[in-house]
Structure 1
Amino acid sequence: MKKPILIAAAIWTLFVVAAAAIALAASWQSTLEQARVAARVAFEKDLTFRRWNSLRGGVYVRVTEQNQPNPYLDVPDRDLVTTKGIKLTMINPAYMARQAYEIQKTTATVQGHITSLNPIRPSNAPDPWEHEALLRFEGGLPEVYSHEELDGKPYLRIMRPVFIEDYCLRCHAKQGYKEGEIRGGISVSVPLSSHLEEYHSLAAKTVGGYAIIWSIGLAGIVFGGRRLRQSIAKEHQARVEAEAANIAKGEFLANMSHEIRTPLNGVLGMLQLLKEQNTPEDQASYVCMAYDSGNRLLGLLNDILDISRVEAGELVLERQPFSPRELLNSVLTVFQASCSKHGLKLTGIPDPSLPETLVGDEARLRQVLFNLLGNAVKFTPEGAVTMEAWARPNAAKPGSVRLYLSIADTGIGIPDDKLAHVFERFTQVDGSFTRRYQGAGLGLAIVKRLMDLMGGSIDVVSEPGAGTVFHLQIPLERPQGQARPQPAEAPRPAAAQPPEHMRLLLAEDEEVSRLSAQVMLTRLGYEVVTAPDGQAAVEAYRSGRFHCVLMDIQMPLMNGVEATHAIRALEKAEGRPHTRIVALTAYAMPGDREHFLASGMDDYVTKPVQPEALLMALRRVKASRQAPGGPEEGASPLDH
């Protein structure tokens, strides 16, 4: 960028120099023109006096020592004597002009001289400059001027021709001149000293002014060039980042298409096989494969929703007591089978410094460890995966600790040029068609954002071919008082949990979803009434009694939110007790849950519906009915 600035500065300098030169030349011409005007005025004045004399046929003056008769004037009556005896002599125009010029030599700065190529008086002979000017008059030039030095001083010399007029013939007819011919010329010399002083003063001001303009312009070019260079650099960086983002986005979309189509292909492929004749063992295997493929697709969608929630600021961390040792053991247990299958050694090393109980979001910590351990297992063809955990007091916040975690593997490692980008969205170390490891490039991005949300940090050290180590640091509080983590109740098989008889209203417009939910709930022992749209659900609720309504959101005729408002209005108008309404919807973006709960619904379950999630929602319905002040303390909805 320096070269363009230098070129611009050089062009600007040349422009200012050229403008200054033009201004100085114009000032110089103006100075000379002022001198020429003064010379022309003097010339016209002398010519006017000459004409005045000629028109009067000459002027008689008394003969004195200064006014001697003109010996070169050959006309009758040149000399006269008055009746009183006074001698008079004629002063013709040329003689009068010569005498005036003699006086000017001592009394004026502007000097004049009348001359010709054939002067009658020898002293009127032209000097070389005047001789050259007279010759040029013969060629038709009306005026000659130039800047000359006389006696070492600068003068502007100007000369114009003098033509023979009618009244001139009295004196010059004998010389053979005719009217209109050039008799000679009058030269005027104007001193330039005062004019040059004025010009030099004006030139200094002009140069100073243009120097200021040049300096301001040069400063503008330099600073503007620097800002332009910074702007271009920023624009280039933004373009590079945008191109990189587009490349990452393109790779992400390609990977998303692949990651979505692959499990979807597994689901459809297995279902296609199930349509044919198969042994019971094959059917069971195909169903398991289809189910696993569906769960893989669901996991991908959950990752996308998680990162959307985090970046939208919609993800709220829970603060509940939990056991870090139990968390680590449960995570290791999940991956133990996979590591054994691939011949990997999975080791957990909890340090004695780990507190028995900490307060934080156990589910999100579990998600972080699942992602990191999942990557470690996936990218380690052989060797070992090790997870260490320890804690240190948090000096910045008494009563809290910093939980440190380290997940190390002996896998393929990460190239140095990719390390800075592993936590970016949609980024994969290998985005080619020949990559061995599948994934959408969201796992580490979710981990990084969850760590930021928890106020922690994550760092990575890796060596290609030797392995990778992730270091995590999370600030967590110790529990107050005697708080202890509540161990999660191991889910029992649905068949082992016969529910209390509950009558459910299922509002679902999509036939397959409605059938699957109905069969699932019926097998679990619930009585299910279905409605194909929101309006039918309201009519069914009006004519029947239900413990809970499972409400889809997007339905024809009346959507789920409108149906909820209508049911709440019926409860108020007919004095019915509050009936739990659970949103059963595919709307799972940040803010959807809060929106549906604010519209009058009581709970929220996302599609695809998992039996465990649906059973948990129904248990909450039962718990609300058994709570003090719940419907069962008064009357069941079915009693009305």
Structure 2
Amino acid sequence: MKKLSNKVSLEFFIFVLSVLIVVVIAFSLSLSHSARDEYTRYLEIKKQNVYKWFAELRNEYKQLYEVYIETGIVDDDIDLLIELEGDGRVNIVKNLIGVGFDEIASLVQSGSKVVLLNSEPVYLMVFETPNKQAIIGSIFDGELIGSLSKYLGEDATVFISYNDHYIVPQEFIQTGIYVRSVIQQSKEATSRPFVVSQPRGILSIFGWGQVYLTDSVDIAGVKVFVLQSETLLVQLVNRLIPIMFLIVVGVVFFSLVFSWSLNRYISTALDSILSGFTSIRDGSFERVKFKSNDELGKISMELNKTMEFIEMTLEKLRKSNELLRKATAEARQASRMKSEFLANMSHEMRTPMNAILGFTELLLSEETNEEKRKHLVTIYRSGEHLLSLINDVLDLSKIESGKMQIYEEIYSPRNLLKELVETYLPMAYSKGLHLAYSLDNNVPEYVVGDAFRIKQILTNLVSNGIKFTSQGYITIQANYKEGKITYIVNDTGIGIPEEKLDKIFEPFTQLDRTMSRKYGGMGLGLAITKKLVDLMNGKLYIESHIGKGTKVVVSLPTKLPSKEEIEKVINKKEDTNKVVLIAGKDKNFFENIASLLSRYNIKHRTTLNISMLPLLCKEAKYMLVIVDLDRISENDLSILDTVKKSETPVVLVAKDARENIEGFEVLTRPISEKKLIEIISRYLKEDLYPVHEFSSKEILVVEDNKANQVLIKKMLEKVGFKVDVAGNGKEALEKIKEKTYSLIIMDMQMPVMDGYTATRKIREKGLKVPVIALTAHTLRGDEAKSLEAGCDGYLGKPVKQKELIDAIVYFLRIQEELETTRFEPVQTPDQKTGKAEEKIGEPPKNPRNDIEKRIQELSTNMGLTLEEAREMFEEYENYLRESIMQLKELSLKEDFEAIDREGHSLKGSGKMYSVVEVSEIGVKLQNAAKAKKKDKILQLISELEKLIDQIWGSDQNS
């Protein structure tokens, strides 16, 4: 039986044979290494012989000099002999080298060594006798070095290097080794001695050339290179190489034969097995036909069994998939129904809440009985609490269903925290808690993020802090580092047990059952907070200690806006510091002042806690504080001195002007509405008008819910508006045909025709009437959807009376401003007789005829002399022509956002300079830029050019 293990044994045999080859090679190398060590010792002996040869050479020349002294005969081997007498005389006996007298002194100083004289290397020796010194020199030529080479023996050779001069004997030349090659290798060698070999031909693959172990000796001022031949080592290697080569060839051939046989067998088996896997992939499940008793055969058998199992499983899967498809379809249907249910529940639950809260608010404004007012306040607060719970459930459902979206916008962290603290200050002070916020210097003034959701996160954390803290403080800190803004909320509350920190983020979870009864809530706040932080790719960390408090850290990735984006936000930013704080202890005083401020659409807040007045003025920047002085006790008078140091102006209301209250403006009772409004106008720096100035305006309320129809109608009629009601969009369009309305309140979810469709049809007819969207849906995208349909504003249900009136007054004032500043054309005689028509807003036929009137209006409006006004009017022409150039450049770039800003600038400047036609073109430019209509923009630029030429061109040419 042919087992796979036999094949492995064969491979093992090949492996053993290979190891044997390695051992032979290792033995050869070891032998070679031992031989080299022996040659190294020979080389050291040769180096010692070099020193010995130089010593003998010196002795030989000394003997020749002694012979000269005795006989007076100079030997032929001496090329230079100079004697220096004790009295300073110099006797040149023999000078074959041509040494001059001026060189003799330096030769004496150089001592015994090889020097270069007249381009000849000369071995100089200085001998001392009792009466004189002798300098003997011999030319160091190849013949002399040849004697050194012979002195060292036949297995060695030498050459001498001296100042880039080389003395090479014949024996070295015969080796075929280059002197410079030896010098180069000597410099590069990392150890001594080093190996130098004869150059070999390309075809000399079965043997080595002559190899020399090389080292150098420094003596007599020269470097003597000694080359020790390794003849025996070379012979050994040359014999081993052919043997090793034959062994390797034999083993490779032997391995190839057996490898081919093994490969053929395994390839056949694997091809068969792979064909089985291929049949599984294409679903044919053809069985593997390869049979064998070894491991590959067993694999084939198991694969066939696996195919049978897969076929059975696939059949079961086909049946399961059919059931799964049905279940998936049902799940998708359920998901769609859930989404629709969420939208409908949002609408259906908020619609009755709108009626409950709205009518309660109306009743509160009319009820004078104190006990009934308490009941109404309880109903109102309970309704707001229920609305908050509905919002939490809907938010959680939207997040879990994936419907929650994050909208990035530019916001100010400072303003966000300021508004948050202002909102929760009364709640905190009512419990005697300190609530404050701080920002590190590194926090940018503006960042990009979802301000609405971030405020929701911090609101949950702050409200929890106030709820679970009985004494101490709640603080909010913000810092910015490496593209992340971090908000830290600290409180000194009851704390959370460590083992329950993970559970508090689960929906409908509180620490224990008593928490819900004691503190209220459903346990959704932190669950929503955690999910919102995750949705923003942020991190939430909580640290708490029982009885000491809790620290929550929210870190969110944040982008920074560009300078252009920041400027755009600043330009659009509304003044939020237009709130009046009413302080006192008399509810009638609150109601009277609040009623008066509401008539003028002035935002206001109230506080009964006079002692907290300095802190309130410090924490929140109020435009003005009105204090009921008559109800303040004598002990509280000292508080006014602290308030006096605040930057917030304070007006005191008293029965009579008190002389001892210095530094405050005092209003005496009965309060003069005119006087109070004058004071507020002065601090607000703008004129104020009562809301009832719009009482003649007619408003159309489009709402399908009868309760809401009655509620909104009552709210508006109470203020003085005339109100008509339509049950759906179709009825609204019919009423618009019959009557002109100043403003429309449009519910967006209605039967027959919804508010989106009705608003689009209104805009298609060219009507400019303001439309305020009113919807119970709370998804963030609904606002954008309403504005895209043509609405001017957006309010969510349940809407409060003040919010509704504020919105209506805001848009009515804008509409009135546009109408009053619209240019009224001068009538020609034909127009007076009705022979011709001219559209409102078109420039007069000859604007030049009206230029003096415009300058007069500019002078009157701006408080200038006629000359100053005329100069400014002419400068305005330059500004307009520069604007035209800028607009042309922007239109080429199709920078519609910048064109919108330029149009806004023209709209404002035209009114100021009494050229209302420019304002109208500015408005049209804004509309065209928002619609991205380049052709319309170019047409308006051309109209602006013509208008400028008509007004200023003729003046310049006259």
Tell me the TM-score normalized by structure 1: 0.49
Higher helix share: 2
Bigger relative CO (Cα 8 Å, ≥ 6 apart): 1
